Structure 1
Amino acid sequence: MGSFSSTSTPDIRFDSNHPFPQRFEIIKFLGEGGSAVVLKCFDTFTHQDVAVKFAKGKYKLKHEAEMMKYLMKHKLDQQNVIKFHHSFSSNSCLVFEMCDINLKDYIKQRHPLKMQEIRTVIQQLATALEGLKKVKVIHSDIKTNNIMVVNQKIKPLQVKLIDFGLALHSNQTSQPINQCLFYKAPELILGLPYSTALDIWSLGCVMGKMLLNCVLFPGTSDYENLCYFTDVLGPAPDYLVDACNKSKGFFKKSNSNQWILKTNPFTVTCGILGRGTP
């Protein structure tokens, strides 16, 4: 079993419930979330570097493992979705192709990006979303952290969509989705029915981030983001507010019987020019 050579990496403990496959030699720590860590490893069987996602504590990665097997069955790795190799240790260990850097860090290093560079990346992600739509899967967590540049030196504009831990099938749209606020689609805020279209909204937010190197809708709450949406896109049409089940929480009727966004007494201004970006 591999071990960490750097003291800056977190202390990850492997136990009998989550055995780490001995075929992998750990090279370095790449990142972590609430339920898993990601490690760069050397696969002694294939003699290749791979990215290994390993569950933390009581967590399992069964859902993501099943989703990745489904996507690989439909060859989505040929449509800019991360290639999934194997799962080990009762789905506590998932093995993916190794990529270079996430898009968030790539933007920081390379900003300002040229329009052609942005177009090339967005076209690849649109291809990935088209593939997901055909197999009736919603990613639901598209953001710059979940997009990887394959190799910034050799293939600086080739990207892959990663992290399908929150992905769901289109027939599961009754489930609540906890989407990142900066990329959260309006239908989720308003309690409207959602579909694969919410991934398109998130992709548009990614495109804005690539262009401006800042978040398009940097609200700290659903209400603040509705303010930003109104500033940029105009008021929500009445028929849309009529259909949502959270309308009275955010809107009120005007004297002309039209829906208008409520004024938050704790918010000095909702205008984009009136607040800084994170």
Structure 2
Amino acid sequence: MSISVRTGRKRAVGAALAAVLLAGGAAGCGSEKGDKADKAGQDMSPAAAVKKAADKTEDLTSFTFRMKGTVPGDGRVQADASMSTEPLAMQMKMSAPDQGPEKMELRYVDGGIYLGGGKEAAKEMDGKSWIKFDAKAMEKAGGKSAATSASSQAENNPADQSTLLTGSKDLKKVGSESVGGVETTHYAGTVTLDQMRKLVEDEDAATKKRREKSIKQYEDMGVDKLEMDLWVDGEDHTKQFRARGKGDKGRLDMTITFLDYNKPVNVEAPPKSQVMDLSKEMKGLQD
């Protein structure tokens, strides 16, 4: 496989993984059971309602979601994914149209990140349709790649960014809306990174560390102020989350819609005969 092909494929997966970072730290999950918004919840203050939705996802162990939007510097991204936090595993089918027409599949299992490109990839890799990144090995080698970022971010609790929204000074209830056939209450507000940092000051050490990772995602993109929208269903779960902001390399506009949660997520590594391990080669490109 040529250097140009590898680099192009790496940029495409980098765009998708950048979106995963947002999803991994996003906001809980919505339940299809929430057909009607809770009347009592509608009477809460916006800050109390958003905090309640965040609190209910603290014990989240798995979720299925769909995301679509634009990442600064990488362009459009869309994906469907399932993730488990115990044990840590993820499976995602994705595309990054501005990086190329290829559709890819990403799997994170047993510390390895696998990227599959199907038959087209096999034509370029001696019949192998998957490439593997060893995130831990690359991190030890001093790499700061999309692979190591995804490994780190996947450990974050998905409630963290919805909690950051409670730092907004202009948080408001927009109204009732249907999202994927589920009735929800829509909240919106703006929040700066300084407000986010202040919000986590009094948290315990473990929670503070997780939430600071979420904040750093935006710092890395050059985003210092966010417009956030949150759609909460009748069971006080977040059904949908949207984050918008201006970064150093363009606009961030990502919407994550949650389809299910706390259901079994089984991710298997591809057969070894179909895998090309590119950890060393990718490190060379990175250097």
TM-score of the aligned structures, taking structure 1 as reference length: 0.26
RCO comparison, higher one (Cα < 8 Å, 6+): 2
Which has more radius of gyration?
1
